[in-house]
Structure 1
C-alpha cells in the first residue's frame, strides 16, 4: 500500500424524520460539493427502491446532478443493479454522463435486486432484463456499446446491425463490478474489470473474495493489473461519545432491516437514544458496531489505515452514516459533513 490513503464516498441519500426527499437530495448534493473541495477521489450513489429511509433510487439522475455541482471528483454508481435495467439503456445513460463530465464517470454494476420481491417484479415487468443468468453477457454488451467503436448485433437475416451508446464517443466511463460473493469476485477477475466487495453491508467473505479476484485476475487492455478498494460504514465526530450517538439511528435502522421489521425514515439522534431497549436489536447493533468505524478523528483514521493495510488497498470508500439531531436543518446533514471533514484532515495529517 502507498503511504497515502485515498478516500471516497458512497451515498445512499438517507431520509430522516422531518425530511422530504427534496431535503435529503439537497443535503447529499451539499455533501458531494464538500467531498469535491476536500479532495475525496470519487462519490458514488447506490440504487435502492421503495425504502422509507433511502432516496437513492436513480443513480444516473443523481450522478448528473452531482457532476454539475462539482469540479474534479469522480462521480458514479455504487451501483446500478443491472438485472433491473436493459443494458442498452444503462450504456446510453452512462455514455451521456461521460459526455457531460469527461474522465470523471464510474459505472459500478451489481446483480442484486436492490429491494423486495414485489418491487423487483415491478422493475422487471418488461421481462428480458430480469434474466440474472445473463448478467455476464449483459456486462459484455455494455462494455462493447460504451466503446467508441460500439457493438455489432447479428440479426436473424444474417445482416450486421451497428449499435452505439452515443453517436461520437471520445472516451468511456470506467466500469466496475460490485458484489458480496465469490461469484462477483471470480467474474470481475475473468473479465479483467475493477472490483469492489460490499464490505459496508456485509464483511463476511471479504478476504476470500479479494484472494479469488487477485489470484484469478486476467489482465485486460484497460486494466492490466487488478484494481480494488474497500467500503466501510464510518462515523467521525470530535469525541468518541458524539460519534457513538451519531451512529445510533443508522445502526437501529440496519437492525430493523435484518430482523425483517417494518422500515421507516431514520430516527433523529434524540429519538434513537430515547427508544426502549430491544434485546434482539441490541445484539445486532453490538455486532455491527464492531465492524463499523465509529470514533474520534485520530482513532478513526488509524483504524482505516489498519483496514487498508490488512487487505492491501490504498483506497477506502466510506459510507458516512452519521445521524442528525432534531434541531439541525432538514436540507443539510451536519453529522455526515463533519465526518468527511474530520476524516480528511486526520488521514491527511497521519500520512505526513
Structure 2
C-alpha cells in the first residue's frame, strides 16, 4: 500500500455519557453521529458492548445497530463487538439474522470473548449457565455461523435424530462475521476459521503486530473470506488546531487513566472540568502514556499519520474511536467534538 493512498475510514462508538447527560441524550448524540458518518461516505460504523459503566451507554449493540440502520442508507452497521460469553449463540444468531433482513448487505457481526464488564455484572449476564463457558467460544462461533446461513444448521440430538435450526425462517443472506481480540488466541482462531479479524488496538497496550502477523501467516482461506482481512483501530481526536485537539482529548484520556489505575469510574468530564483539575503524579503520567498511543492532532497531521500507519501495517481501512470531549455550553443531545473529528479527518484524507 502506498503511503500516498488514503485508507477507508470507519467508526467504533462506545456511546460516551458526559457530565449531566442522560442516556437518552447520549444515544441521540451517537445516532446523529452515525447519520453524519453515512453522509461522509464512511465504510462501517460499529457499536461496542460494555456494562455497568457510568461513562458508557453502549450496552446493547443489536438495539443500537437497528436504530442506526433505520437512520442511514449505505454505511455498514455492526458490533464491535458482541461479547459472546454473555449471550446464548442462538440468540445472537437470531438478532443478527433479523438485522440482516432489515438492512440487507450492511450488517457486521463482530464477536469477542471478553466480559465487557466487572466480575459481578458478568455473573449476572451469565446467570443462565451455559453461556459462561468461555472454553466453548470456538464452537459457539461455529454454531452462529451455521445458524445464520440461509440453509441453517443441522444438529444431531441425543436420540440420534437430526434437527434443523435456522436463525430466521427464510434468510436471503448472512451478516459478515468478524472476530475481535487483544491477544494471540483470537488471531489464531480467526485464521483457523477463515474469518476477518480485528485487533483491539484502541485499548490494548501492546501486541498488535504479533497478533496480526500470526493471523496472516496461519490464515486458512474460506468461501466468505478468501484472503486474510484486517484493519487498524485508533482512539482519535481531530480539531482545527492541535491545541484544541489536546483539550478535547483530555476528558477521555482521564477516564481511561482512572480505569487503568483502579479509580472510581464516573461520567465523562467536560473539557472545562478536565482542565480545571490538578491531577496527581500517577494520573499525569498515565494520561501522558495513553496520549502517546492516541491520534490527537490537527487535520493534516492526523491524515498523514493515518496514511503512515495504514501503510506500515498493510491495511486499507482504519476504524477510529472518536473520543473528543464536549464543552459545557454544547447541547447535551449532540456531540460536536466527535462530529468535528469525523468531518475534518474525512476531508483531509480526501485531499
Q: What is the TM-score normalised by the length of structure 1?
A: 0.98
CA shift digits 1:214-235 (9 cap, x unpaired): 0000001111100100100000
Between the aligned partners of 1:159 and 1:76, the Cα distance in structure 2 is 36
Between the aligned partners of 2:91 and 2:280, the Cα distance in structure 1 is 45
Between the aligned partners of 1:140 and 1:345, the Cα distance in structure 2 is 40
Paired residues of 2:6 and 2:307 also in contact (CA < 8 A): no
1:1-352 mapped onto 2 (5 Å cutoff) = 1=1, 3-349=5-351
Question: Deviation at 1:5?
Answer: 1.1
Question: Deviation at 1:71?
Answer: 0.3
Between the aligned partners of 1:207 and 1:276, the Cα distance in structure 2 is 36
Query: Matched residue of 1:176: which SS?
Result: strand
Query: Matched residue of 2:80: which SS?
Result: strand
Between the aligned partners of 1:292 and 1:305, the Cα distance in structure 2 is 15
Between the aligned partners of 1:43 and 1:271, the Cα distance in structure 2 is 29
Question: Deviation at 1:203?
Answer: 4.1
CA shift digits 1:239-275 (9 cap, x unpaired): 0000000000000000000111110001100000000
CA shift digits 1:302-333 (9 cap, x unpaired): 11111111100010000000000000000000
Between the aligned partners of 1:297 and 1:4, the Cα distance in structure 2 is 13
Between the aligned partners of 1:135 and 1:12, the Cα distance in structure 2 is 23
Paired residues of 2:201 and 2:208 also in contact (CA < 8 A): yes
Question: Deviation at 1:277?
Answer: 2.2
Paired residues of 2:257 and 2:283 also in contact (CA < 8 A): yes
Query: Matched residue of 1:125: which SS?
Result: coil
- Unaligned runs of 5+ residues in structure 1 are none
Query: Matched residue of 1:223: which SS?
Result: coil
Question: Deviation at 1:209?
Answer: 0.3
Between the aligned partners of 1:71 and 1:343, the Cα distance in structure 2 is 21
Between the aligned partners of 2:33 and 2:309, the Cα distance in structure 1 is 24
Between the aligned partners of 1:145 and 1:221, the Cα distance in structure 2 is 17
Does the C-alpha gap of structure 1 residues 302 and 203 become closer, same or farther in structure 2, counting only changes over 3 Å? farther
Between the aligned partners of 2:310 and 2:205, the Cα distance in structure 1 is 14
Question: Deviation at 1:87?
Answer: 0.1
Q: What is the TM-score normalised by the length of structure 2?
A: 0.99
CA shift digits 1:127-170 (9 cap, x unpaired): 00010000000000000000011001111111101000000011
Question: Deviation at 1:4?
Answer: 3.6
Single out whichever of 34-43 and 196-205 deviates more from structure 2. 196-205
